[in-house]
Structure 1
């Protein structure tokens, strides 16, 4: 007898948006620090000073990366079928068979699910 596994819920869209923004902001801060430092070393800090110039690079880069990564994480997760099932389907099917409509894919998944539940 197999043990029942508790079903894990996928993260909500809001959570994915938040995580994408946080990851993008972290990457943006790092990239802003690197490019801002390089710009200050190469061209000088300018009339505002080193800290203001560096912080401007870091904040603008963090905002840009955070915005685009948050949108990208929501778009990537906008699917009726879980990503695990999509990946499994793409590995099992030949390239010619992999091109299907969303409704055909859902019917295939439902049929396989019914077959698996019948076996167990």
Structure 2
């Protein structure tokens, strides 16, 4: 999905900048259409490549069940309620007092 979106954005940006470049500096020895298509394809491939990498890095899909189970096993809940948090905080204070004394 990221590659398709990047290609679409890249083609549009390539069309805009390629048209501006052709209007400003001329088409060059190859002509207007090949020059514009080169701008569009280069820009589309670049944007598509980077957005596909981004979509792989930031994958919104769920993890496989065995990975999720291992993550749940390793995850610890430090404070479940206010009372438990207060007790943990008091215990740390007591440890710090013992270390300084």
* Same structural fold, with TM-score higher than 0.5 when normalized by the shorter chain: yes
1:68 aligns with 2:50: yes
TM-score (norm 2): 0.61
Cα deviation, 1:31-56, whole Å, max 9, x if unaligned, reads: 00000000000000000000000000
Gaps of 5+ in 1: 1-18, 82-101, 112-120
Consecutive aligned runs of 4 or more in structure 1 exceeding 3 Å deviation: 78-81, 105-108
Q: Deviation of residue 77 (structure 1)?
A: 1.5
Match of 1:40 among 22, 25, 44: 22
TM-score (norm 1): 0.52
Choose between structure 1 and 2 for higher RCO, CA contacts under 8 A separated by at least 6 residues.
2
State how 1:1-120 maps to structure 2 within 5 Å.
19-77=1-59, 106-108=75-77
- Return closer, same or farther for 1:38/1:31 CA change in 2, 3 Å cut-off: same
Q: Over alpha carbons, which structure has the higher Rg?
A: 2
- Give the CA RMSD over aligned residues: 2.8
Which residue number corresponds to residue 7 of structure 1?
Answer: none
The count of aligned residue pairs is 71
Q: Deviation of residue 61 (structure 1)?
A: 0.2
